Amino acid sequence: MQIYPLNTAKFELNQLPPLSLYIHIPWCIKKCPYCDFNSHNLGTTLPEDKYIQALVADLEQAVPLIWGRSIQTVFIGGGTPSLFSGDAINQILSNVRSLTNLSPLAEITLEANPGTVDNEHIQDYSKVGINRISFGVQSFNDIHLQTLGRIHDREAAIQAITLAQKHFTNINLDLMYGLPDQTIEEVLIDIDTALSFGISHISAYNLTIEPNTAFHKNIPSGMPNNDLCYIMQDALIKQLESSGGYARYETSAYAKDSSQCRHNLNYWQFGDYLGIGAGAHSKLSFQDKIIRQVRQKQPQHYMGQVLVQKHILEEGVVQTKDLPFEFVMNNLRLIGGFSTAMFVKRTGLSLNTLLPKLDLAVTRGFVTLRGEYVVPTKLGQDFLNDLLILFLEDEK
């Protein structure tokens, strides 16, 4: 296990932030060529029972770190969590309820691949306590789905969403744009198809070529340039806002009827999260420190190591000097930005530690100040990485 150096500067939080739980299911029927998440091809068998045993052991060992704190949201992500049966998800959630203080009003999300669910799956997920389902649709265009290596087609996506609407009122659809040989018209057709279901939340991501992916090793032809991707993004934002009544509240997230993803909001607002499962990350606050953890990534290795309490791959205290950047890296993804009071509350630092770089961001037109709120401008939203770099630069 890698151990980071201890934080030597004085640190004190007067109030702990909200707490979320992330549960990672690492298997997929096959890994998509653009995916850089910790996902692994399924193979011949799915070790549901063994993995649940490991998750429970992981959670039991982590409980002392969150003792007495209420869990406000749960997110079961992957990989492809919908490979697990309703009974398996029930076993996981039953153990969460028995071992932790899970809020009765908790948002509980399960990610699902349209190619792995039928009516029985969806009905069972609803019965065992899942109250939000997120479909990795990516596109309703069969040609683009094939390019992305997805196991479902347009018809399977439509069927899965239609079935889910019989049991869920809180549904998210993940879409992608900036695909090889994709046109603006095709982006808008995807958005219009998503809008036709009247669901409450849509996430739209620009395809990026990430290291350690099949696309990185063999970049597909026809990738649109940055200028075209910006035009696509502007077009889909206008379509979502004008035709669907969706409000953009985060770089890639759009919601209506106050249906923002509470779990993701907690991430962006520098809240706490306990992550269990292969490769899961945690960020946990205490009165005198903030720690981060990373679990073993390889599923078989994780399942073996967790039973002997050797599943934590990395663990360390976040250095005080790194807290301003970590805070803004998350909060400036939010279209509404953050309050200066939130910065003080979540980092335990004086606002003076942020002001020099904040003034620079204002001068360069990346953010604006609205009372006590720091809000990214359109320029800051479009060039978020350039904005964040300002908070990494050393003082001159």
pLDDT for 233: 96
- Return the pLDDT at 396: 44
pLDDT tier at 339 (50, 70, 90 boundaries)?
very high
For residue 243, the model assigns a pLDDT of: 85
Looking at residue 8, its pLDDT comes to: 42
For the cut 70, the answer to whether the pLDDT of residue 2 exceeds it is: no
Alpha carbons 141 and 38: distance in angstroms, whole number:
26
* pLDDT grade for 5, boundaries at 50, 70 and 90: very low
Mean pLDDT across the chain, nearest whole number?
Answer: 94
Give the tens place of pLDDT for each residue, 28-38. Answer: 999 999 999 99
pTM: 0.95
Say whether pLDDT at 166 is over 80: yes
pLDDT band at residue 374 using 50, 70 and 90 as cut-offs? very high
Q: What is the pLDDT of residue 316?
A: 96
Nearest to 311 by CA among 278, 348, 287: 278
* pLDDT tens-digit series, residues 10-30: 678 989 999 999 999 999 999
CATH code linked to domain 2-266: 3.20.20.70
Statement: residue 6 has pLDDT above 60: no
CA of 87: how far to CAs of 21, 92, 128, 172, in Å?
Answer: 20, 9, 8, 23
**Confidence at residue 12, expressed as pLDDT on a 0 to 100 scale:** 81
Assess whether pLDDT exceeds 70 at residue 7: no
pLDDT tens figures, 319-336: 999 999 999 999 999 999
What integer pLDDT is reported at residue 10 of this predicted model? 61
**What pLDDT was estimated at residue 364?**
96
Output the pLDDT for position 393.
61
Centre a 10 Å sphere on the Cβ of residue 7 and count the other Cβ atoms it contains.
19
pLDDT at 50: 97
Considering the segment(s) 321-390 as one domain, its CATH architecture is Orthogonal Bundle (1.10)
- Segment 108-129, tens digit of pLDDT: 999 999 999 999 999 999 999 9
Can you give the residue ranges of every domain in the chain?
2-266, 321-390
pLDDT above 50: residue 104:
yes
